[in-house]
Amino acid sequence: MEFKLLRLNLTEWKAREEKIPESLLRKYIGGRGLGAYLALKEIPPGIDPFSPENKIYILTGPVVGTGAFETGRYHVVGKSPLTGILGDANSGGQFGPWLRFAGYDGIVVEGASDEPVWVSIVDGEVQFHLAKHLWGKGVVYTENIIRKEMNTPSEHIGSILSIGPAGENLSKIAAIMNDKYRAAGRTGLAAVLGAKKLKAIFVKGSRKIEIVDKEKFKEESKKIIDKITKHSISEALSKFGTAVLVNIINSHGGLPTKNWTRGTFEKAFEISGEYLAEKYLISNKGCWGCVIRCSRVAKVDSGPYRTPVSEGPEYESIWAMGANTTIGNMEALIKLNYLANDLGFDTISLGNTVAVLMELYEKAKNGSLPEEKAKELEELLGDIEPSWGNADAFAQLVWRMAYRHGIGDYAAEGAKRLAEYFGSPDSAIHVRGLELPAYDPRAINSMALSYATSNRGGCHLRAYAVSFDVLGVPDKFDPLVVDNKKVELVKYQQDYFSVIDSLVICKFNSFATDHTDYVGVLNAVTGWDMTADELLTAGERIYNLERLFAVREGHGYKDTLPKRLLEEPLPDGPAKGRTAKEALEKYLPYYYEIRGWEDGKPKPETLKRLGLEEFLYIL
């Protein structure tokens, strides 16, 4: 199997091709796995994430663009400015397949340009273009102008990845956007592109993706598609989008509300997927090749939150900007989501950060913030009053954060740095600096382990324990009972999801499938003879490799949770009176045992078992 990388040297505006040896692909598959390997080999230890020495790997995987099933994604890897360890993010839309059709399976962005630049890649031909006229502009405008310049008006042909003003101005919570509304959101990697002055990449082409055994490929993909289309969760996602979760998680008392001080939100229904579908939905939409089509296309026709036809909002965005700040108005959330996408923010981190600011504002008012910090906050806020539930203040803050005006300059650094600066570090709910997503581990206790051990920081996509604690997939567990079987499932998901992100496909497949379903397709595409066990071991190898990056950096491998979740009991809902402390303390020792780790670090024998001997020097 051929896997071709394009190395873009932005310092010199030069490009060169490189072929990845098949032996490396068999070990790390592609996408997230290959990115982690290359990052560990190529990014020097201890560097500033904004230095030209940092690199951004934009990678597809062996099945992307084959048309098999949900194969329209790409994965981004680099050293995160938010966490200081390995960051990565994943996005759907069309960019992944069009990158392959353009002639490359991945791009490595290296060095830094003196001037803003954008790059076009059309059927293997690479061109660098000055981007001065696009710098400072939103994502929608940027894409429209590039499409004009490339004479490609149809949004069904070619694809664009870009950063908004948030990334340009080095906000540590900036998202890489593609196809206007899709985000590789987490860990702030857009700011690394901003530091390199790369505004956008356009891709288009006609390359056919090689499939070694076409008959086998058809047969294996059909099996997977049948499973996905028949699954009840796929049906719910198609009908109500990811926000179908709002009412479900709220009913379990696990919908973090008012900056994680409560577990239920009284206006949950008004921000639910069901409400969105009834009032504002125009249609559903799918990423390239998707049979589920969970994306929302919505608009607000009139009023203060009038918003043009656009995609979203998704569950995580609705929660972070809604329940977590107590904004219970769907029209406001559609507008905020549009703004966040256009300015290029990770909505999970953005919502958490604004919630911290609302808490700081409340503390300043009631005298529980250090006096000089309260005064400084008031001066920096100027005319903005970020009281709980104030959507207009939120909108003003997003603009100021994107362009780093006043308080926006501090908030653009993310929740942790903002809370620390104003003398209230425990107000920020994060793991390793990455703001947590929409599930309270005090109410869904397997998420305590999932968050604490997530290599990229607070994340639900390393192990989605909600699937068995709440949704009953593969089996239903009591979310409040501590059970070591759940530890095994968290580890399994972490390894399996590493495979999914390396193939690179959509995780929503995982409700209906497990790792054994994919080995047939992978072998049909590549001509390999991999077994299902070998595929899962590759996932485990990748998970260990990512942890090694943190060990090498000398921080980011301590597995714990924010103080609020460990020490402050939930005051409401079915999990009233619970903290996440007991679950985490009971789960961690068994987790380390089955991972072959000690105090958050892989043991030498674990690295040897996984064929990672070349990295033993890190321990």
Segment near ligand SF4 (CB under 6 A); pick from 23-31, 141-149, 287-295, 354-362: 287-295
End-to-end CA distance of the chain: 33
Tell me the CA distances in angstroms from 446 to 15, 281, 586, one per residue in order. 45, 33, 11
Give me 418's structure tokens: 């903002």
Count of residues in contact with ligand SF4, rule CB under 6 A: 11
Q: For helices 139-149 and 330-343, what crossing angle results, to 10°?
A: 50
- CB of 513 vs ligand SF4, minimal distance in Å: 13
- CB of 3 vs ligand SF4, minimal distance in Å: 22
- CB of 287 vs ligand SF4, minimal distance in Å: 3
Q: How far apart are CA 281 and CA 241, in angstroms?
A: 10
Segment near ligand SF4 (CB under 6 A); pick from 169-177, 284-292, 303-311, 333-341: 284-292
Cis peptide before 313 (omega within 30 of 0): yes
Residue 184 contacts ligand SF4 per CB under 6 A: no
Residue 61 contacts ligand SF4 per CB under 6 A: no
Phi, psi of 119 (to 5 degrees): -125, 135
Nearer to ligand SF4, 62 or 92 (CB): 92
Nearer to ligand SF4, 58 or 418 (CB): 58
Q: What is the DSSP string of 43-112?
A: SPTT--TTSTT--EEEE--TTTTSSSSS---EEEEEE-TTTSSEEEEEE-TTHHHHHHHTT-SEEEEES-
In the DSSP assignment, the letter for residue 568 is S
Nearer to ligand SF4, 63 or 294 (CB): 294
Residue 293 contacts ligand SF4 per CB under 6 A: yes
Q: How far apart are CA 458 and CA 561, in angstroms?
A: 9
Nearer to ligand SF4, 240 or 508 (CB): 508
Nearer to ligand SF4, 82 or 294 (CB): 294
Nearer to ligand SF4, 292 or 330 (CB): 292
- CB of 293 vs ligand SF4, minimal distance in Å: 5
Query: Exposed, middle or buried by CB within 10 Å (0-12, 13-18, 19+), for 206?
Result: exposed
E strands along 376-462, which residues? 430-431, 434-435
Q: How far apart are CA 577 and CA 570, in angstroms?
A: 5
Segment near ligand SF4 (CB under 6 A); pick from 27-35, 137-145, 285-293, 428-436: 285-293
Q: Which of 89, 244, 294, 415 binds ligand SF4 (CB under 6 A)?
A: 294
Give me 227's structure tokens: 């499973």
Q: How far apart are CA 340 and CA 347, in angstroms?
A: 7
Residue 347 contacts ligand SF4 per CB under 6 A: no
Nearest alpha-carbon partner for 153 in 204, 225, 191: 204
Q: Which of 67, 136, 205, 286 binds ligand SF4 (CB under 6 A)?
A: 286
In the DSSP assignment, the letter for residue 387 is -
**Three-state secondary-structure class, residue 197:** coil
Q: How far apart are CA 255 and CA 243, in angstroms?
A: 12
- CB of 70 vs ligand SF4, minimal distance in Å: 4
Nearest alpha-carbon partner for 26 in 391, 542, 442: 542
Residue 287 contacts ligand SF4 per CB under 6 A: yes
| Cα maximum dimension of the chain | 71
Nearer to ligand SF4, 79 or 182 (CB): 182
Segment near ligand SF4 (CB under 6 A); pick from 215-223, 286-294, 443-451, 592-600: 286-294
Residues 483-522 that bind ligand SF4 (CB under 6 A): 506, 508
Residue 419 contacts ligand SF4 per CB under 6 A: no
Q: Which of 201, 290, 489, 504 binds ligand SF4 (CB under 6 A)?
A: 290
- CA 13 vs. chain centroid, Å, equals 29
- CB of 232 vs ligand SF4, minimal distance in Å: 14
Q: How far apart are CA 110 and CA 103, in angstroms?
A: 19
Q: How far apart are CA 33 and CA 258, in angstroms?
A: 36
Residues 303-332 that bind ligand SF4 (CB under 6 A): none
- CB of 512 vs ligand SF4, minimal distance in Å: 11
Q: For helices 532-553 and 484-503, what crossing angle results, to 10°?
A: 90
Nearest alpha-carbon partner for 595 in 607, 585, 582, 579: 607
Give me 240's structure tokens: 């109500």
Nearer to ligand SF4, 340 or 415 (CB): 340
**Three-state secondary-structure class, residue 108:** strand
Give me 19's structure tokens: 């072929």
Per-residue binding letters, 62-101, with ligand SF4 (x by CB under 6 A)? --------x---------------------x---------
- CB of 184 vs ligand SF4, minimal distance in Å: 12
Nearer to ligand SF4, 91 or 544 (CB): 91
- CB of 59 vs ligand SF4, minimal distance in Å: 17
- CB of 331 vs ligand SF4, minimal distance in Å: 23
Residue 292 contacts ligand SF4 per CB under 6 A: yes
Q: How far apart are CA 117 and CA 128, in angstroms?
A: 7
Nearer to ligand SF4, 224 or 618 (CB): 224
Nearer to ligand SF4, 67 or 286 (CB): 286
Nearer to ligand SF4, 295 or 324 (CB): 295
Nearer to ligand SF4, 453 or 510 (CB): 510
- CB of 66 vs ligand SF4, minimal distance in Å: 14
Q: How far apart are CA 398 and CA 354, in angstroms?
A: 9
- Residues in touch with ligand SF4 (CB under 6 A): 70, 92, 286-287, 290, 292-295, 506, 508
